[in-house]
Each structure stands twice: as structure tokens, then as C-alpha cells.
Amino acid sequence: MHAADSTEPDAPAPTDAAPAGPRPGDTYVQSFARGLEVIRSFSAQAPQQTLSEVAQRTGLTRAGARRILLTLEGLGYVRSQGRQFSLAPRILDLGFAYLSSLPLWNLAEPVMERLVEEIKESCSAAVLDGAEVVYVLRIPTHKIMSINLGIGSRLPAHCTSMGRTLLAELDPPSLDTLMREHPPTRQTERTITDVNRLKAELATVRQQGWCLVNQELEEGLVSLSAPIRDRAGRAIAAMNISGQVNRTSPAYMLEHFLPKLRDAAGEISQMLQRKS
């Protein structure tokens, strides 16, 4: 029996409507949106799912989820074993298409590797996606977070150094809309959740050209970030140095790491500008 033919009970309150998002119209392909929702339903917390679990997480009927899963399986992006579905390695092609379409990441990696070798702390690069930052490069040294970070990992932008570096570049109306739709949430006792105070912090970041966040995302974690800019001067990404506060204090990072970080970010920016 194929995995999709399981006789497990239906998920509660199924619907064939796509999850909340843009309303269908002439420019909105609903079936494609549903397929992406099915892909996104798999995660570190749900690496394998039954048909009913996919339907429940996406709000689709079992029949709708089954059609999409079988289509993805036929294309090689999903595989099944018994009643369980999981993503196939080919799904990485989708993310690689983004990374390979931009020259930045090939340029940035050797620079980041040299920086990590010099300072012996982890270095990452990320881009802004709504209210989150998405990791596109990471050169680790020690494991410094309880979260297992890798390419594609997402973290809230409001309490991360790279997030604030990129949020600081938004125009006031865009920032107001983002704060209204995604109010800052508390991650630790130090997290800034007051919108006006957060805006003041972002104004400082924008003026000084770098950002330090001390234990606002996770206790013990300190992070320092600087922007990577394109030819037009837009911050298209940010790179950071992160470490444990009991080993690397904020004051030490600012004195010893900030000049090196800004030089590395500037080098990547210049290479990108010559390339574009």
C-alpha cells in the first residue's frame, strides 16, 4: 500500500483553502501556494509526517494534501516510506538556486573564513525576510547557542544584531508597518519589546553603522554586526561575530572585533560592487 493510501483518521476541520495569505487573483496561483505550504510544513520538529499531519499543519483536506505530496514525490522533492513522508535532498536545489544566483556568497565566504581564523569566534551572514533574518552563510567555531544554526535558519530580527542592522535601513513607514504586524516578543529578560525604545536603538545603529546585541536573543549570547552594501549603498545583507559573554565581553568585542568586522564587511561590499 502506498503511503498516501493509509487509513488513518482525517485531520480535524479540514479545508481545501490555502492558509491565510494573499487573496487569490489573476496573479496568484493557489495550487502553487499550497505546494509551498506543504514543503514548509516539514521542519526540524517535524522531519517526517503522515498524510493527516501534513493536512492538519497546512489546513488542506487529506485529498488536497495527497495530490500535492504525490506531485512533489514525482518531481523528486519528497519521498515516502510506509505512512511517513519526508523531504528529499533534491529540495536543496530550491535554496541553492537563490544562493548561486547572487555573487555575494562566493565572495563573502573566504573573507569570513579568514576573520574566524583570526578572532576564533563564529561568523555568519544573513538577509532580512519580513520580521526575521535568514542565515545564508555561517562559519562556526564553538557551539554557542542552544539553537542549531545553519543555512536557511531563521531568527527574529528585532533581538539579533544582524536583524537590527537590516531593520535600521528600512524607511519609517515600512518599519512602522513591520512593527505593527509583528510586535517585538520577549526572548530573555533583556529583550527590548517597547517599540519606541527599539526604534531609538535602530536610529543609533543606522547612525553608527554597526550593532551590538547583548543577551537579548538567548542568555549568555553576545553578537556584533555590520552591514554589507551593494553599489547603490543599500544594505543587502549583514554579517556578525557572535560569542559567549562569559568568554567574550561586549566591551572586548567592541575594542578588538569591531574594527576587523567592519573591515571584512567593507571588503565584501567592495568586491560585490566591482562584480555588479
Tell me the pTM: 0.72
pLDDT over 70, % of the chain: 84
| Number of C-beta neighbours around residue 32 at 10 A | 11
DSSP symbols for 41-72:
T--SS-SEE-HHHHHHHHT--HHHHHHHHHHH
Say if residue 66's pLDDT is above 50: yes
Distance, CA of 59 to CA of 208 (rounded, Å): 45
Distance, CA of 244 to CA of 15 (rounded, Å): 46
pLDDT digits (tens, 9 = 90+) for 11-27: 344 444 444 455 555 67
- Residue 274 backbone class (left: φ over 0; alpha: ψ -120 to 50; beta: rest): alpha
- Average pLDDT, integer, range 138-165: 82
Cα–Cα distances (Å) from 226 to 168, 243, 261, in that order, read 11, 15, 7
pLDDT digits (tens, 9 = 90+) for 174-183: 999 999 999 9
Distance, CA of 149 to CA of 156 (rounded, Å): 13
Structure confidence at residue 3 (pLDDT):
41
- Average pLDDT, integer, range 235-245: 93
Confidence tier at 253 by pLDDT (50, 70, 90): very high
Confidence tier at 168 by pLDDT (50, 70, 90): very high
* Higher local confidence (pLDDT), 173 or 89: 173
Angle at 41 between CA 38 and CA 45, to 5 degrees: 155
Q: SS3 for 133?
A: strand
- Average pLDDT, integer, range 145-158: 78
Say if residue 204's pLDDT is above 90: yes
Cα–Cα distances (Å) from 81 to 6, 38, 48, in that order, read 12, 17, 10
Say if residue 197's pLDDT is above 70: yes
- Average pLDDT, integer, range 126-141: 90
pLDDT digits (tens, 9 = 90+) for 100-132: 666 667 788 899 999 999 999 999 999 999 999
Say if residue 7's pLDDT is above 50: no
Confidence tier at 28 by pLDDT (50, 70, 90): confident
Cell 548561486 locates to 100
Structure confidence at residue 101 (pLDDT):
64
Q: What is the largest CA-CA distance in the chain?
A: 64
Q: What is the mean pLDDT of the chain?
A: 86
Residue pair 133/158 in contact (Cβ under 8 Å)? The answer is: no
| β-strands 221-229, 211-214 pairing | antiparallel
